Amino acid sequence: MKILFSFLPKEEQRLSLINRFPQVDFIFHKDLNENELKTASVFVTYGEDLKPSHIEGAKKLKWVMVASAGLEKMPLQEIAQRNILLTNVRGIHKTPMAESILAHILSIKKSLPLIAENQKKAEWSKRVPSSELYGSTALIIGPGAIGGEVGRLLQAFGVHTIGCNRSGKTASYMDEMVSFKSLKEVLPKADIVISILPSTEETRGLLTYEHFKSMKESAIFMNYGRGDLLKEQDLKQALEDNCIAYAVLDVFAKEPLESDHPFWSMPNVIISPHISSHSSQYVVRALEIFSRNLTSYLNEESNFENVIDVSRGY
């Protein structure tokens, strides 16, 4: 059985897989090797290289493991038609992303950029606005694995958490839950609004200028899901109109963000160039999930972690 990678784990990680699964023929390439794919049973990818034509030629392909959370660039229709198992690494992002979200929230609340500016001028200034996270309210739109971890940490800081998803069904570490329909009603309550929504038909364009207008003027809006949640022109206008105080953006309509994009120089925008999920532990954790799933696969079991419902796209 052949397993093809389109990225190169570190040597010790490759050796560890080879030793642990001697019955498997591992082929590691730094990009997609089309020839090898034709005879591979399993394909491990970051999810941006697979085209519909590849699926057509990969007659033996039974499982695609995406070492990422976003699946927008995957040929989902072709995968569904062939009934190929699709799994991702949902959940391994939760620790680095939640830490990144908390870092930005606390940095803003404690005025760290102003403190750094004063230091550059050797200026001992105690006039630094510093508000507390304790006692505030956060709205988490899309409280899955990552949102739950954010909610857990925010609750530790004494923050009231409101979750918002399609159905309004309960989610972990949320003090309250509402559905997308009630979004506008809860926006005025939130000091921090965090979206961690994937890109689906229901989420694209979900937030409009009117939504930002209904937020607190002191609100911090954070987009850690996908850039197409909103029209960037709407957010820009809302920031210029001071509808909200800050936007922290990890995702954008077009990435990389073009160098002349107005967001770069707006004083109330913080650009985290889609790095919030980065971690020195990333590949280690991805391969742990992969190894557990591979064990199930080899044992012909069906208890796979992070199986994607291809029709929903997440």
Give kind and range of the element (H or E) at residue 4. strand 2-5
Among 77, 119, 233, 296, binds a copy of itself (CB under 8 A): 119
The nearer residue to a copy of itself, 209 or 282, going by C-beta atoms, is 282
CA dist., res. 61 & res. 272, Å (int): 36
Among 39, 274, 307, 313, binds a copy of itself (CB under 8 A): 274
Dihedral-angle region of residue 124 (phi above 0 means left; psi in -120 to 50 means alpha; beta otherwise): beta
The nearer residue to a copy of itself, 132 or 202, going by C-beta atoms, is 132
DSSP 41: S
Interface characters, 87-116, with a copy of itself (x: CB under 8 A): --------xx--xx-xxx-xx-xx-xx-xx
Closest alpha carbon to 86 in 104, 69, 67, 64: 64
281 binds a copy of itself (CB under 8 A): yes
Per the CB < 8 A criterion, the answer to whether 225 and 203 are in contact is: yes
231 binds a copy of itself (CB under 8 A): no
Among 21, 26, 46, 157, binds a copy of itself (CB under 8 A): 157
The nearer residue to a copy of itself, 131 or 182, going by C-beta atoms, is 131
Among 19, 35, 242, 259, binds a copy of itself (CB under 8 A): 259
Stretch that binds a copy of itself, among 180-188, 224-232, 272-280, 291-299 (CB under 8 A): 272-280
Q: How many residues contact a copy of itself, by CB under 8 A?
A: 51
217 binds a copy of itself (CB under 8 A): no
- Side by side, which strands form the sheet with 220-223? 176-179, 160-165, 137-141, 192-195, 220-223, 246-249, 269-271
271 binds a copy of itself (CB under 8 A): yes
51 binds a copy of itself (CB under 8 A): no
The nearer residue to a copy of itself, 172 or 200, going by C-beta atoms, is 172
Give 236's Cβ-side CA count (13 Å radius).
11
Residue 269: which residues within 8 A CB-CB, separation 6 or more? 239, 246, 247, 248, 249, 263
Among 260, 300, 302, 309, binds a copy of itself (CB under 8 A): 260
User: Could you tell me the two tokens for 242?
Assistant: 């001071």
Instruction: Give how far Cα 84 sits from Cα of 186, 227, 251, 269, 302, Å.
Output: 40, 28, 29, 41, 13
270 binds a copy of itself (CB under 8 A): yes
Closest alpha carbon to 88 in 311, 310, 274: 310
Among 272, 283, 287, 289, binds a copy of itself (CB under 8 A): 272
CA dist., res. 195 & res. 274, Å (int): 14
CA dist., res. 191 & res. 215, Å (int): 8
177 binds a copy of itself (CB under 8 A): no
Which residue ranges make up the site for a copy of itself (CB under 8 A)?
95-96, 99-100, 102-104, 106-107, 109-110, 112-113, 115-116, 118-119, 122-126, 128, 130-134, 152-153, 156-158, 255-257, 259-261, 264-265, 270-275, 278-281
